[in-house]
Each structure stands twice: as C-alpha cells, then as structure tokens.
C-alpha cells in the first residue's frame, strides 16, 4: 500500500482544512490570468524579460556534483532568474489560509522556495518564474479569499484589524476594492503603485463559506479545545501537547 502522509491531526473542519493546505490537494476556485498575477506582483511588466543573476545553468557548466545530478533545477533556477517575493496578509476573521499554512504549503509543495512566516503576513521567495507560478496557484485555489486575503509587499497590517464595513480586510493603501457588481478588483500592485487597469479578482466568499474553509481555530468558530463542556479535546490539541512535552522536556530528542 502506498504511503500517504497525514500532515496534520484533528477531526474538526479546521484540522481537515489544514491537512488539505499542507498536502496541496486544493480546490481551484477561480482563474486569474497569468499577466494579471504578474501585474499585481509588480516585479516586472507583464511580457517583459526576466532579470537574471547568472547565465542559464546549461551555459555555466556546473561542477561535478552527485546532488546536482539527482535534483533537477526548477525552471527559474535553470534560467538564472532573480529571486523575487510574494507576500500575503490574511485576515484573522476566518481567512482561509493563516500565515503558517501558506508556509507549510510552500515548504511542502513548492520546489526551491523560501517561505517565511511573520505574525500577520507570510512571504515566499523564489526564482522569479517559479514564484509567479506559485503565486498564481495561491490566487486560484481555496487558500485565498479575495476579500480576506491580499498581496501586500509593504504596509502589510490588516491581519488582526477589524474588517471594513463591506467585509473587506482593512488596507491602508487601498490596493483592492469591492466593486458595485460584487466583485473584488485589484487596483494597485502589492506595494501600492496604481495598475494600468483594474483586475477583476472575482467574488468574495460568504461569511459561512469562509468559516467552512478556514484554517484558523477561533473561539467563535471552531475552538481548538473543543466546544465548552466537551469531554475530549480535539486530536490536534493532544498532538500539540505531545509535541510541546517532547520539545520542552527533551529538546525534541526523546531518547
């Protein structure tokens, strides 16, 4: 029998969603054009050449190294692209992906990337054409709700702030807006420079759907310790306690 890793414990919806995010078996909800994703990232104009830090690997002549022979380079690494980033801010009001789970998704499913988690934002760095592909995957999949998540290269705060009246995550630089037709439009790139045209990002999730797809444990959603009066904690809490115990008592070396 083929081994299928179970990435995360827990039988509550949040545990199931966390497993989904980590395994990469995500539902595709929308299709945003590649050129639009590139425009929002703002590193290069859509259609422009990729800037590079070294010549393509084939021209360079690599040293004789067994690891290089085993591991095929990503398209970006093979072409010698610059390393670029994409950074997300996800609202704590039931955004589908909270910062750590974007990182787990990146670390497990994206080759040649460097994910970083901060308190209210999450950044992934990779070679330019790789990060563009990874960002498009994040935009198109259920990891992203266009109202509660947005790409923010700077002035990132919004994660822990209350939502706006129309249900959008607060953004000081107003990079996205809710149109009259109910669609969310991207009007600026991730650092706040206005785009040439508005980009239709599609309809936001309803509150119930966001709660269904979220990976955040919250007292007013799915609490980590179970409902009040529950006789048994969720498996996720038991596993967490177990890890905590191993780590604090033996520095993760249970010998």
Binding mask 24-43 for other proteins (x = CB under 8 A): ------------------x-
Length of the chain (residues): 255
Applying CB under 8 A, among 11, 25, 53, 166 the residue interacting with other proteins is 166
Applying CB under 8 A, among 163, 195, 224, 239 the residue interacting with other proteins is 163
Query: At its nearest, how many Å lie between other proteins and the CB of residue 174?
Result: 4
172 binds other proteins (CB under 8 A): yes
- Total residues contacting other proteins by CB under 8 A comes to 22
195 binds other proteins (CB under 8 A): no
193 binds other proteins (CB under 8 A): yes
SS3 per residue for 196-249: EEEEEEECCCCHHHHHHHCCCCCCCCCCCCCCCCCCCCCHHHHHHHHHHHHHHH
State both tokens at 100. Answer: 């750590």
Applying CB under 8 A, among 23, 52, 109, 155 the residue interacting with other proteins is 155
154 binds other proteins (CB under 8 A): yes
Query: At its nearest, how many Å lie between other proteins and the CB of residue 154?
Result: 3
- DSSP code string of 120-158: S-EEEEEEHHHHHHHHHHHHHBTT--TTTEEE-SSS---
161 binds other proteins (CB under 8 A): yes
Smaller CB separation from other proteins, 45 or 174: 174
Smaller CB separation from other proteins, 30 or 157: 157
Q: What is the DSSP letter of 163?
A: P
Going from the C-alpha of 8 to that of each of 12, 109, 141, 190, the distances in angstroms are 11, 15, 20, 31
Check the CA dihedral 87-92-96-97 and report its sign. positive
Smaller CB separation from other proteins, 2 or 154: 154
Q: CB of 87 within 8 A of CB of 152?
A: yes
Applying CB under 8 A, among 57, 83, 108, 191 the residue interacting with other proteins is 191
164 binds other proteins (CB under 8 A): yes
Distance separating alpha carbons of residues 198 and 194, to the nearest angstrom: 9
Q: Under the rule (CB under 8 A), what is the footprint of other proteins?
A: 42, 153-155, 157, 161-166, 170, 172-174, 177, 188-189, 191-194
């Amino acid at each position: 029998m083929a081994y299928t890793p179970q990435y995360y414990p827990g039988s509550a919806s949040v545990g199931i969603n966390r497993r989904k995010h980590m395994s990469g078996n995500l539902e595709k909800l929308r299709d945003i054009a590649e050129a639009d994703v590139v425009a929002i990232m703002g590193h290069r104009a859509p259609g422009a050449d990729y800037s590079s830090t070294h010549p393509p690997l084939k021209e360079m002549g690599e040293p004789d190294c067994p690891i290089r022979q085993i591991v095929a380079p990503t398209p970006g690494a093979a072409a010698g692209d610059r390393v670029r980033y994409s950074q997300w801010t996800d609202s704590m009001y039931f955004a589908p992906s909270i910062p750590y789970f974007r990182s787990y998704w990146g670390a497990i499913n994206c080759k040649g990337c460097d994910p970083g988690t901060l308190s209210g934002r999450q950044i992934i760095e990779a070679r330019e054409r790789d990060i563009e592909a990874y960002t498009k995957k994040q935009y198109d999949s259920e990891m992203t709700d266009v109202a509660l998540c947005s790409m923010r290269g700077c002035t990132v705060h919004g994660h822990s702030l209350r939502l706006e009246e129309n249900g959008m995550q607060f953004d000081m630089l107003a990079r996205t807006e809710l149109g009259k037709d109910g669609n969310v439009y991207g009007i600026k790139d991730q650092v706040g420079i206005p785009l040439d045209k508005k980009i239709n990002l599609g309809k936001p999730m309803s509150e119930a759907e966001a709660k269904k797809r979220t990976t955040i444990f919250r007292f007013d959603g799915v609490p980590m310790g179970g409902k009040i009066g529950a006789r048994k904690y969720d498996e996720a809490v038991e596993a967490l306690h177990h890890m905590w115990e191993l780590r604090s008592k033996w520095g993760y070396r249970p010998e």
